[in-house]
Chain A
Amino acid sequence: QAVVTQEPSLTVSPGGTVTLTCGSSTGAVTSGHYPYWFQQKPGQAPRTLIYDTSNKHSWTPARFSGSLLGGKAALTLSGAQPEDEAEYYCLLTYSDPERVFGGGTKLSVL
């Protein structure tokens, strides 16, 4: 099974910009992996922020954006807010139906 890698932790200042990445052990992440990004706060269920690389749901704050960057999927947060402090998980699709999560990135806003 493929391994999906994320930064274990990142810190961003309030109002700052940070990019989380999602890599694959099989090579470059492409649009064919249909990357997702989920946000999970302590004690809460995950929430889908981004699907299919860059698409947002109606509840996704505009300050979040998804892209492909340097062979990885990327989640960029521009103008971080204290409420953005959470764990962020990416999910990649491999040979359907296999789906693999990354280990998560704990984002601190300090």
Chain B
Amino acid sequence: EVQLVESGGGLVQPGRSLRLSCTGSGFTFGDFAVSWFRQAPGKGLEWVGFIRTKGYDGTTEYAASVRGRFTMSRDDSKSIAYLQLNSLKTEDTAVYYCSRRFPLGELWFFDYWGQGTLVTVSS
């Protein structure tokens, strides 16, 4: 059974950092790209970015709202993708989700999602 589990969320002060993890199981983690999304309390979904597979050099793409502050990485030996959140702002408060991206020809699409981890940025 394919599963994605996010962890690492919590309460953090503005300007501080946090690292989130997305642990996959039930599939060969290195064969799939990983996307991150977030959802502020009571609000809609926002795409954060994604990290490609090692076959595509593990390159990353970010939404403009987080570019330069958030960094994605992956450790396929542990089946974990990471989202490093730096210089956090109160508006980064949200549930953060990871999702798997599977290949279909030359394109990649989302399928499974994790249950999310809550990040609260507050003094």
Show the binding face of A for B, using Cβ within 8 Å: 1, 34, 36, 38, 40, 45-48, 51-52, 55, 57, 89, 91, 96-104
B interface majority secondary structure = strand
Task: Indicate if B110 sits at the interface (CB-CB under 8 A).
Answer: yes
- Report A57 CB to chain B, min CB distance, Å: 6
* Contact A48–B50 (Cβ < 8 Å): no
Show the binding face of B for A, using Cβ within 8 Å: 37, 44-47, 49-50, 61, 63-64, 97, 99, 104, 107, 109-116
* Contact B110–A45 (Cβ < 8 Å): no
A interface majority secondary structure = strand
> Given A34-B107, A52-B109, A46–B47 Cβ distance below 8 Å?
no
* Contact A45–B109 (Cβ < 8 Å): no
- List, in ascending order, chain B residues with CB within 8 A of A96's CB: 61
> Given A36-B110, A52-B104, A97-B61, A45–B97 Cβ distance below 8 Å?
yes
- List, in ascending order, chain A residues with CB within 8 A of B45's CB: 38, 40, 46, 89, 91, 101, 104
- List, in ascending order, chain B residues with CB within 8 A of A103's CB: 44
* Contact A101–B111 (Cβ < 8 Å): no
* Contact B104–A48 (Cβ < 8 Å): no
- Report A79 CB to chain B, min CB distance, Å: 24
- List, in ascending order, chain A residues with CB within 8 A of B63's CB: 98-99
* Contact A51–B109 (Cβ < 8 Å): yes
Residue of B nearest to A100 (CB): B47
Residue of A nearest to B48 (CB): A99
* Contact A57–B111 (Cβ < 8 Å): yes
- List, in ascending order, chain B residues with CB within 8 A of A57's CB: 111
Closest 3 CB pairs of A and B: A97-B61, A99-B47, A51-B109
- Report B58 CB to chain A, min CB distance, Å: 15
- Report B2 CB to chain A, min CB distance, Å: 11
